[in-house]
Amino acid sequence: MGATGSRLEKALGDQFPEGERYFGLENFGNTCYCNSVLQALYFCVPFREQLIEYYSNNKNPADAEENLLTCLADLFIQISSQKKKTGVIAPKRFVQRLKKQNEIFRSYMHQDAHEFLNYLLNELVDTLEKESLSAKSDSDTSSTSEKIANGPNISHANGPNISHANGGVQKEPLVTWVHKNFQGILTNETKCLCCETVTARDETFLDLSLDIEQNSSITSCLKNFSSTETLNAEDKFFCDKCCSLQEAQKRMKIKKPPHILVIHLKRFKYIEHLGRYKKLSYRVVFPLELKLSNTVEDSDAEYSLFAVVVHVGSGPNHGHYVSLVKSHNHWLFFDDENVEMIDESAVQTFFGSSQEYSSNTDHGYILFYERTTTASTS
């Protein structure tokens, strides 16, 4: 493994980015779903920095209660503070904690990387909310505002960017730095075709799960995602204004695009007549630069691809996960312990295959885009 490290160092040579570390992660038996996602998150620089910042601001040696957040932060700090530029690290504590906390991930079975990512982000949010709540009650009792143990990013937690949520949210939820990175708002618009009243319901998301088609692109999948659906025949809409069932047109729009847009391609589809899941190896082109056009507030949110979690294999219950990461304009390939430099053009070999039975089984599964244009609202 020293050899791979030095090979990567050699390949980068003078261009090795200042202060950056590229470390492979040891596999503890089918933990590649975890490793691939951790690499993508580590190279989501704002997320990494905010996690470490929050952790160092809130580290409380008195109550050393371990949770996924502390384990993740410890792991990220461990990587970033390595003396060597490259090498391998065993994310032992993190994986142990994960297995302890959630039964699903306990077995040595093949796990779904998207499920893991979703679980991890929600777990982080829960931890932050819990800590903020206890910090609030602490500060309430002691009434010294300096004692608020929140990180700097959490201080104006109830941001205005969610206040226009239309009835769907009862109480203002806490907007943590995790939300600020990953959360976007979708709006579900329904127009009654009789009285033409439009009802809008907002919902938040941390990632978008898209249905995919053969030989399509992310743009067309997004277009399908927000295409107009007519509620008719046996499936009419109950219009509150008309007090009756009427035809209606319904569409989903991205109202507030997130800073980090995580797109999950639904490659694992339940096939009714087979009674099991099947992997769709469809070719879905994901561009390096993505423009969102179907948003309400920002008509042209632009994004740049920085990480891809790739599923390797032909079925849903077995296979392997690797990740592609863009760091300082170099593309790197992370496969558990191994880290290699790849050419940008190699990214397109992970789009999928046009034929059903292809030898190429490496398909982009989770895409991480970072916004390049500054948001006009937040």
Catalytically active residues, by annotation: 32, 320
The number of residues that bind other proteins (CB under 8 A) is 11
CB of 237 to other proteins, least distance (A): 12
What lies within 8 Å, CB to CB, of 378 at 6+ separation is: 159, 161, 180, 256
- 317 binding other proteins? (CB under 8 A): no
Q: Residues 101 to 140: which contact other proteins by CB under 8 A?
A: none
- 211 binding other proteins? (CB under 8 A): no
- In 257-375, the DSSP E strands lie at 260-265, 268-271, 276-279, 284-285, 289-292, 301-312, 320-327, 330-335, 338-342, 362-371
- 170 binding other proteins? (CB under 8 A): no
Q: Which one among 137, 227, 230, 372 touches other proteins, defined by CB under 8 A? A: 230
Q: Residues 186 to 205: which contact other proteins by CB under 8 A?
A: 193, 195-196
Q: Which one among 96, 227, 244, 372 touches other proteins, defined by CB under 8 A? A: 244
CB of 239 to other proteins, least distance (A): 9
- 233 binding other proteins? (CB under 8 A): yes
**Rounded distance, CA 148 to CA 131, Å?**
10
3 state DSSP class of 22: strand
Beta bridge partners of 218: none
CB of 164 to other proteins, least distance (A): 20
- Pure H helices in the chain: 2-12, 32-42, 45-58, 68-80, 92-101, 113-142, 177-182, 218-225
User: 176, 162 in Cβ contact below 8 A?
Assistant: no
Beta bridge partners of 210: 265
Q: Which one among 242, 252, 285, 375 touches other proteins, defined by CB under 8 A? A: 242
3 state DSSP class of 206: coil
User: 97, 120 in Cβ contact below 8 A?
Assistant: no
- 232 binding other proteins? (CB under 8 A): yes
CB of 247 to other proteins, least distance (A): 6
Q: Which two tokens stand for residue 68?
A: 């996924």
- 299 binding other proteins? (CB under 8 A): no
What x/- string results for residues 50 through 89 when contact with other proteins is judged by CB under 8 A? Answer: ----------------------------------------
> How far is C-alpha 130 from the chain's CA centre?
21
- CA angle, 342 then 343 then 347, to 5°: 90
Q: Interacting stretch for other proteins, rule CB under 8 A, among 98-106, 152-160, 241-249, 288-296?
A: 241-249
What lies within 8 Å, CB to CB, of 221 at 6+ separation is: 210, 211, 212, 213, 265, 284
Q: Which one among 53, 202, 247, 340 touches other proteins, defined by CB under 8 A? A: 247
CB of 244 to other proteins, least distance (A): 4
- 167 binding other proteins? (CB under 8 A): no
CB of 253 to other proteins, least distance (A): 17
CB-nearer residue toward other proteins: 45 or 195: 195
CB-nearer residue toward other proteins: 242 or 288: 242
- Which of 374, 377, 123, 371 minimizes the C-alpha distance to 261? 371
**Rounded distance, CA 286 to CA 281, Å?**
14
Residues near other proteins (CB under 8 A) = 193, 195-196, 230, 232-233, 242-244, 247, 249
